[in-house]
Amino acid sequence: MNLWQEYLRPTNLSQALQAIAEAPRPILPIAGGTDILLDLEQGRHAPVHTLLDVTSIAEMTVLEERGNELYIGAAVPVNRIALNPLTLEHAQALVEACNLIAGPQVRNVATLGGNVAHALPAADGTIALLAMDGQAEIAGASGIRCVPFKELFPGPGKSSLKQGEELLVGFHLPLRKEHQASCFKRIMRPQGVALPILNCAVWMEREDDLVGDVHIAVGPGGGTPFRATDAENTLRGKPFNSPAFETALEALLAQAKFRTSARRASADYRRHIVSGLFKDVIDTAWKRAA
């Protein structure tokens, strides 16, 4: 049984958008295919007529500086992100997240866009991008729009991407400035390929001994990728010390909605372990920003 009927491989964004508008439906964009092909094969995804391979589209496979931003195409493999000097310089949390996605073989083909498009509340790449205040570039018949990353997920398992009408093209991140840094870590259960129980990313800007600005993301902290905005507000403009951390932790615990997962961990266990993970990540980001 064929998993699809037509296979298209456009070489530029215009051809891809034309295919989305005209090709027989259902149509499904694919890059690495490390999740979606298994879902199709095992019946976890509705049948598709047309597969749209985006791995030859230049706009989606480039990783480069653009003015005061770092641009990462949605079809860039996560291993390339993990090894690129630009991401090592400007997006260390994302590098650390990409190094933990699946195993080495999968990372060679799996893409950042695929990691994000699943809209999972604890996807490693998603949590890192959320903390780094990135923007998603989306293309459709009406043109190109940029969506702040924290607005990309309107509900559990959903993105603001219009399925079958739009394409996730890439991501824009601000270039790192002096006294800015980021960090990503996770707690995982070894089980073949390690399954994440909890992850956390922090981006921070120091002003001497004060927290100038900070972004905190925790997964899964709710039904959608979670920014701990209440904790961030307690830290901005304050000295970074133990009382400040404890206040931020209390705010994070009050705002987060941890869930129980039968294969990973209970909500109570996640609440118990988040303090140590959060402390480790934010301490590392603070030291890196010196």
How far separated are the first and last CA of the chain, in Å rounded? 58
CA distance 147 to 122: 20
Q: What is the mean predicted confidence (pLDDT) over 126-131?
A: 97
CA distance 50 to 37: 13
Could you identify the residue written with the tokens 């991008």? 129
CA distance 154 to 150: 9
Kindly state the percentage of the chain with pLDDT values over 70. 98
Tens-place pLDDT, residues 151-162: 999 988 888 888
Structure confidence at residue 61 (pLDDT): 97
Structure confidence at residue 269 (pLDDT): 95
Q: Provide the mean pLDDT of the chain.
A: 94
Q: What is the mean predicted confidence (pLDDT) over 8-25?
A: 96
pTM of the full structure = 0.94
Range of lowest pLDDT (1-15, 73-87, 181-195) = 181-195
CA distance 225 to 130: 8
